[in-house]
Chains A and B, each alone.
Chain A
């Protein structure tokens, strides 16, 4: 009897769960579908009847338009790709060394330095002193270095790396390696690095995602359009028109500001996001690992 009641509750729970989770999932995915379908819609059809989930008039025109003169977007792709590659590699190298040193119990200042790194998350000079440092003191204005160096490391990723190393590496192993005569850097390179590859993948992917999605650094430091990062290239292209349309929208004035057409904008958005969305199902487990370890606090 009791058991029967219990299974009724289970069924009820499952109905609720499937329903609610499905709705949430649809809400999460719907925006992507709208963008993709819009990019495949004939532009005049958007202008006359607006956006729809299924294209009223199917057309590849937007993609054709973009790839007729692909120099701009390819340039932005190259900037972002190289920046992501260089930044992630260097960042991974620095962060893993820091994580290694700060995990060594025989390193006297590890707590002091860890705290000084953590402290930057609770107090700072603010945006403007930092901006002036990069722009006027280091004179990195319009330089690729300004796109790369600020993303090399974050306190969160260093602490995450340290946690990974501490977890996969008992202290006695250092002792043993030292007795065998291995130097500190040797231990890092030949023993620590190979063991923490999952940690490296996680931290590397966080770094890469940040580089790929960055527009902020371009917006502040770059003035030559050919040096724009992909996201900022997109932002810049959209915004000049969007801002105008927003301002005029309610005023009753019927403005037709066309180029670049709506569908071209959306096709650009698809092209800029495509690689991330194609890759993410395969790498999400590394993010899950990072988020889980990071949240439980090192």
Chain B
């Protein structure tokens, strides 16, 4: 049977179901698939009058510029390194806290602290920006007021790029620790209590129980989360970086990621071609990474494959 018949037959049979999907299909077409045509901008010197296909074609010039100016190396390095820190430290911290919450004795304490640690997730990044400013403001900031009262030299955080590879992960942890803990704690709560009862009879202490029962049981969740995160390692936490650093050029060397660079190309430098090239580079490189990760995982252990 020819394919076309199959589709129209299905369309006829499930007319209503297709209709119900129309908003979704339209959304992803407009938002994701049609704009892919605009990838062409990456190869042009953008001219607003001439439009997409009227702008002069410049081949790989935009990519060459990014490469030769060292920008590409810097933003790629920052994007990947920050993400690796987020993945490694984030997951370990979340697992650690989840284990503590899971096994500690007080139910009320667990509930209250879990709720409070979840709170930062609900706050907008603008508020996080306010917060960081008020913590670190040179003259008035909370931290510097504290340092001054201890007769320690105040920190000039907004002119010290070397401090940010620590500060950004700290605030990332702050924002996401509760969220990740929720996932791990839920997984732990799904572990059958029989394991622990048996272990206790065998004389295993609480640390041994965690080591030999809890941790192995959450391994699949851990692996899935890490693989997902590795798959999107080229995507930066735009809002986090932008709200903390904004357009403070002093800090770009250690804080600029692909997403912030592309955003500024668009909004401040009006460098459409260069920005589009940066975005396309991110997309293609990221895509290749995901496919590779997925391929390797599938070969080793198909259960963990992303798709």
Contact = CB atoms under 8 A, between A and B. Distances in A.
B158 A220 contact: no
Interface stretch (A63-71, A194-202, A236-244): A236-244
B123 interface: yes
Contacts, number: 302
B20 A17 contact: no
A126 B206 contact: no
A265 interface: yes
Chain A binding surface, main DSSP class: helix
B137 interface: yes
Given A21-B104, A46-B140, A213-B124, A127 B287 contact: no
B103 interface: yes
Interface in A1-43: 2, 5-6, 9-10, 13-14, 16-18, 20-22, 24-25, 27-29, 31-32, 34-35, 38
Contact of A51 (B34, B123, B145, B282): B145
Which of B10, B24, B141, B248: most chain A Cβ within 10 A?
B24
Interface stretch (B74-82, B83-91, B161-169, B178-186): B178-186
Interface stretch (A81-89, A163-171, A277-285): A277-285
B279 A28 contact: no
Nearest to A291: B182
A131 B159 contact: no
B28 to A, nearest CB: 6
Interface in B266-283: 266-267, 272, 275-276, 278-280, 282-283
Given A50-B144, A97-B20, A288-B182, A35 B131 contact: yes
Contacts of A34: 131, 134-135, 142
A117 B38 contact: no
A130 B263 CA distance: 12
Interface in A123-170: 123-133, 138, 149-150, 152-153, 158
Contacts of B203: 2, 6
19 contacts: A2-B203, A9-B207, A20-B96, A20-B100, A34-B134, A50-B139, A50-B144, A98-B20, A125-B32, A125-B38, A129-B276, A130-B32, A130-B35, A153-B27, A184-B20, A246-B159, A266-B130, A295-B221, A297-B224
Interface of A: 2, 5-6, 9-10, 13-14, 16-18, 20-22, 24-25, 27-29, 31-32, 34-35, 38, 46-47, 49-53, 94-95, 97-98, 100-102, 104, 106-109, 113, 115-118, 120-133, 138, 149-150, 152-153, 158, 183-185, 188, 209, 212-216, 219-220, 231-232, 234-235, 238-239, 242-243, 245-247, 249-250, 262, 265-266, 269, 272-273, 276-277, 280-281, 284, 287-288, 291-292, 295-297
